[in-house]
Amino acid sequence: MAENPFANFAAWFEDAKKTEPNDPNAMILATTDGPRPSARTVLLKAWDERGFVFYTNLESRKSREIKANPHAALLFYWKILHRQIRIEGALTQVADDEADAYFATRPRGSKLGAWASAQSSPLPSRAAFETRLAEVDARYPGDHVPRPPFWSGWRVVPDYFEFWQDMEYRLHDRSVFKKSSEGWETGKLYP
């Protein structure tokens, strides 16, 4: 393991991109606004040493929980590699220009879906959603579909990493990195 957890993440993520058949960028996001945490799978869309970015509706359950408690945990699990990475940290909303740039790369159908979906709200029927989608499609008939004002990204700014490697007889290797004022403190955990 390198002393910089981002370097370790880069190496393991590259391995995952070569071996995982579907969505090596899939990560479990856990949030809470009280005693009951919730978890769901989201897709990592960008990362650097500032943190790990995913996009969503700002009125969704996850966004409401993030606004109430701006801390979360991420989990990457790559079954073929027998590896996982846990990341914990605070969340910040990405800048509008960053959200605009990513939104522009999305397929038209995904852009329309962002407008039509009242994410996490009760849906009376699939037909109701399809009607909303048709209305948005008619509103934006050309190639340009602007980013909805209620849609953006969140960046998890890590202060904790745990790299877990499966080992024979469940004698797993666990390396941890904790952010401190001097940089990253490293250590090991029992399996």
CATH architecture observed for domain 5-107+150-189: Roll (2.30)
pLDDT reading at 37 higher than 90: yes
pLDDT at residue number 132: 95
Q: What is the mean pLDDT of residues 40-52?
A: 98
Q: Report d(CA 104, CA 150) in Å as an integer.
A: 15
- Claim: this prediction has a pTM higher than 0.85: yes
pLDDT tens per residue, range 85-119:
999 999 999 999 999 999 999 999 999 999 999 99
| Strands of the chain, DSSP E | 26-31, 38-43, 46-48, 51-57, 71-78, 83-93, 151-165, 173-180, 183-189
Q: What is the residue type of 116?
A: A
pLDDT at residue number 1: 86
Q: Report d(CA 185, CA 191) in Å as an integer.
A: 19
Q: Report d(CA 152, CA 48) in Å as an integer.
A: 18
Residue 44: pLDDT band (50, 70, 90) is very high
Q: What is the mean pLDDT of residues 52-81?
A: 97
Catalytic site residue from 83, 132, 170, 174: 170
Q: What is the mean pLDDT of residues 169-174?
A: 95
* Dihedral (CA of 11, 14, 19, 24) sign: positive
If you average pLDDT over every residue of the chain, what do you get? 96
Q: What is the mean pLDDT of residues 170-181?
A: 96
pLDDT reading at 153 higher than 90: yes
Q: Report d(CA 146, CA 3) in Å as an integer.
A: 42
Q: Hey, where are the domains in the chain?
A: 5-107+150-189
Is 61 annotated as catalytic? no
Residue 143: pLDDT band (50, 70, 90) is confident
